[in-house]
Chains A and B, each alone.
Chain A
Amino acid sequence: MKLQQNYGRTLIGVRTWPFFTDLAIAGVGLALFFAMVKLGTYWLASPMPAVEISHSVRALPLYAFYSIARIGIAYFFSLVFAVGYGYVAAYNPRIEGWMIALLDILQSIPVLSFLPGVMLAMIALVPGHQLGIELGSILLIFTGQVWNMAFSFYSSLKSIPREMLEASRIYRYSAWQRFWQLEMPSAAIGLIWNSIVSVAGGWFFLITCEMFPLGDRFFRLPGLGSYLQTAASANPVDVHALVWGLSLLVLIIVATDQLIWRPLIAWSDKFKLEQVESSTRVASPMLALIRRSAVLAKLPAQAWESLDERIYKKLARTRAAQVVQPVDDETKPDGRMLQIGIAVFAVLLIVWGGFEGYAMLKNVTWGDIKLLFLGAGATFLRVNAALAIAALWTIPAGVAIGFNPRLAKFLQPVTQIAASVPATALFPVLLLGLLRYGGGLGIGSIALMLLGTQWYILFNVIAGAMAIPSDLKEAAKLYKFTRWQTWTTLILPGIFPFLITGMVTASGGAWNASIVAEYFHIGDRTLETLGLGAQISAATDQGRFSILLLATILMALIVVTINRLVWRRLYRLAETRYKLEG
């Protein structure tokens, strides 16, 4: 009886859902079309550097749409760039080392320092259109998103099993087939997880780069970020608008998680390289729905297939597809020329940059430099204080969550969403509270760094605690380890590699966050504290490019040095000594 009932219900599900999903999808398509029209007319309108921001709730959806469009476009370019960069780096051994070193450095440069330069360049590049300012902000979001994705794609390509690569060669795959059947599938999982991190980072920067002063000019783009900022800096503070804006932001983040990331994660399960079926899987009702939809499942697939077949047919006739290309072929004739070309270009760039930099730095005084170093010291202390506080609470909390599967199942998605809410959006609220109770930016800036970076540590600690084998835990219990013993001999060594991974990301993030955290406009006041980040922000405000340049270089240098000297060593230690092997 029970069986029949179940059967009946699934039948109904199968019949009704596809119709509704198809209808919904058609609706979404129509909406997308109008959205593009709207975006186009706005972009091609004459430029309005400082758009008046309405605090009405009714204006919110449009603002949210503009913000989402910015992030979406920046993400699209990030993806394309990441794939291209990773591909070139992985397959050109002559320039590979250089490209990866460059990536490492670019990853360490504080994105927000680029803000003035990028904005001015883009406005000059596309004069007479709103598009210029927009492109500027999109480019900034792009630079905040792209590096870890490029790195992920590159390392996925490098870790394709050798025999699979050989199979693709001996069966004479074209580059096209290799890309879709070998390289992209191998990279998919890494790309998706990094996309999640990147888009969260994108929101962080979006909030700040929709509205900022630059020298004597003031830029403000219509968007969720400027809505929140103007609401916070109104006098008196517009709490109503702030609450609505934040709620919508959280809603968007939850929706992205449910409608995009979860289905993607569930779908990407088939790209795991492991040869046995794993037991844990991410479930996504959304994916099930899409799979059932007749329109989505069939139409694009058919269109794609007919195009695909033609490409394959054409490629099979090319010369390259008729011979087997050796895997270890490093004697490409054009490789040398390319390398020389890049070297010449790089040298020219360095020389030019050196001259420009020298000319710019001529008017910097010793006092400025001393102040910069002092600021660097203050920010250094602040970053490490934030890291220490984060580690202090996340380690016990993460271990507790990781050791308790039921708790983990409930709390993990919650923390993931909490982590995606950009700290920059919460910062004004937090700062207002602090100011009311007599705190200042000194504490506030540490709090913002904490807000932005503690999640990386928490996730990794949870993952680390879950990875500790249960027989080790049982052994600890069996031999009646004291609490102290359990922590020092089992838990801390067990989570060490994960903790380090989290700390590396958090440290870089905290340095970057200092630019927003140490210098803040609220109401008609400017709060400022001693720090390298504050100096970068102030230099942006006042248009002092020489200080901006010096401070940026200093910060990048500090981040790279700390990475090399501290984190990489700890990482190696984690890899060799504290690796839990089956």
Chain B
Amino acid sequence: MEQTIMDTAKLAGPGTEAIIRAERIEKYYAQPSENRIQVIAPTDLSIVSGEIVALLGPSGSGKSTMLRMLSGLSRPSAGKVYWHGKPIGDAEINVSIVFQSFALFPWLTVLENVEAPLKARGVPPEERRVCSMKMLDTVGLDGFEAAYPKELSGGMRQRVGFARALVVEPEVLFMDEPFSALDVLTAENLRSELLELWANKTMPTKSVFLVTHNIEEAVLLADRIIVLGRNPGYIRTDFRVQLAQPRDRKAEAFTQLVDYIYKVLTRPDVSLEEAPEAVRSPWTRGQRKTKYKMLPHARPGGIAGLLETLIDKGGRDDIYRLADDLALEIDDLLPIVDAAQLLGFLTIEEGDATITTQGTEFANSEILRQKEVFREAVLEHVLLIRQIERTLEAKSDHTVNEDYFLDMLDDQFSEEESQRQMETVIAWGRHAELFDFDGNRRRFVLPDALEEEEEGDDD
């Protein structure tokens, strides 16, 4: 590991001038009750010339928010972003963003889409056309200039997105999960073309900042990787990748690095030796003691499926390999793993998942017994479900309004997240047959208080 990872602080010394420098930027949303939702804790970050930076993190760690603050699209709640030493709000910055959804204007032709940013800068028509055509040629869209985006395939559309981004010759090129809406082959193809453009200096861009949830993609492309932790988002680790391009996915050093990052991502509670002291410094300002654990959004059926696969593998397996076998993106698998861990069905060590006795019983039992095991597990580990169950038992009519619990969640989560937490609680509670939920009246009810209506979430 030592030869592939080095601390950024040692490499990018104070002499290197940053293009974009963020000083203790944070993002929070004020809540009506004095608390506030902290999305990103105070963070320092610099983007310097000559590197591709990849920003990795689990969902909910504020990757996209970070990108938007660094590009000037979103104003930090506190802290400052500088462009060549000037506050970003006053500087004439030159950046582009390649969006996940492409964000092309469907009523403009390919050429008009690419020309639009130049038009905004007052470039005369002739010059605009020449530049745009050249750029379309570069990204391999020669001959498509008169087409409308909806006539193109997803990969071609993202090529238009790249052409539009590059035509203004940005100093920093931001990319927000640019390949995640594309199929595997198309994405691979575009990635290697991007690397080629970068390596040959075909694009005048000095730095690329890539947000992704795909670890392999990050290791494949980046010179420097930043991993975010969540609740609130903060930098877990920031290091350089010392692998020569082109990189080989099958090489020992490559897989080792991928494994290492998986470990960082899957063990949020363990601190890393590599992490610089500054990261773990007090970023707890504005934070409260958390009462409710954040529930991962996983379905009971998904948890059972994962555990069954794990038993087939002898009760212990590498999470990375599990994702591969189940043909899941790691971002989709992690919530299920988290949920199983939270319920005490498995433990995680060194990136390996090991099934527990309860987990084995849960996975191996027939449906009624399975529900019993699940019931015991949620009652023991999920505070909110315990509270709902007790409230329902205590009330004479055995029903209670959803808002009552939503208010308690709202103190801790954003409105949207509270809503999602509630959905998970409802799905789990229904599966455990602890209570049911009347979607029309938005009320929890005890199962026997409700007329026979099976809306099972169990698959």
Contacts and interface: CB of A to CB of B under 8 A. Distances in A.
Determine if chain A interacts with chain B.
yes
Nearest to B96: A170
A166 B99 contact: yes
A524 interface: no
A312 B122 contact: yes
A327 B64 CA distance: 14
B107 A316 contact: no
Contact of A312 (B75, B90, B108, B119): B119
Contacts of B120: 171-174, 177, 312, 316, 321
B251 to A, nearest CB: 36
Contact of B101 (A161, A174, A313, A577): A161
Interface in B91-111: 91-93, 95-97, 99-101, 103, 105-108
A179 interface: no
B12 interface: no
B119 A177 contact: yes
Given A163-B103, A312-B122, A171 B150 contact: no
A316 B128 CA distance: 14
Contacts of B174: 170
Given A170-B73, A177-B120, A312-B122, A277 B150 contact: yes
Contact of B117 (A171, A317, A329): A171
Contact of B105 (A164, A315, A316): A164
B101 A270 contact: no
B375 interface: no
Contacts of A328: 74-75
Interface string B100-137: 11010111100000001101111011000000000000
Nearest to A274: B150
A576 interface: yes
A313 B118 CA distance: 11
Interface in B413-440: 439-440
Nearest to B100: A163
Q: Which residue among A185, A272, A275, A327 has the maximum number of chain B CB atoms within 10 Å of its CB? A: A275
Interface in A311-336: 312-317, 321-324, 326-329, 331
A170 B95 CA distance: 7
Contacts of B149: 275
B315 interface: no
Contacts of A321: 120-122
A314 B122 CA distance: 7
A484 B96 CA distance: 59
A169 interface: yes
A23 to B, nearest CB: 30
B72 interface: yes
Contact of A323 (B89, B116, B124, B164): B89
A31 interface: no
B63 to A, nearest CB: 15
B176 to A, nearest CB: 8
B164 to A, nearest CB: 8
Contact of B122 (A164, A270, A315, A327): A315
A579 to B, nearest CB: 13
A471 interface: no
A347 interface: no
Nearest to B116: A181
Contacts of A270: 106-107, 148
Contact of A309 (B71, B93, B124, B164): B124
A167 interface: yes
Interface of B: 68, 71-75, 88-93, 95-97, 99-101, 103, 105-108, 116-117, 119-122, 124-125, 148-151, 157, 164, 168, 174, 439-440
**Shortest 7 CB-CB distances between A and B: which pairs?**
A316-B122, A171-B117, A163-B103, A324-B72, A167-B103, A326-B75, A185-B107
12 contacts: A164-B103, A167-B99, A167-B103, A171-B117, A272-B106, A312-B120, A316-B120, A323-B92, A324-B71, A324-B88, A326-B75, A576-B439
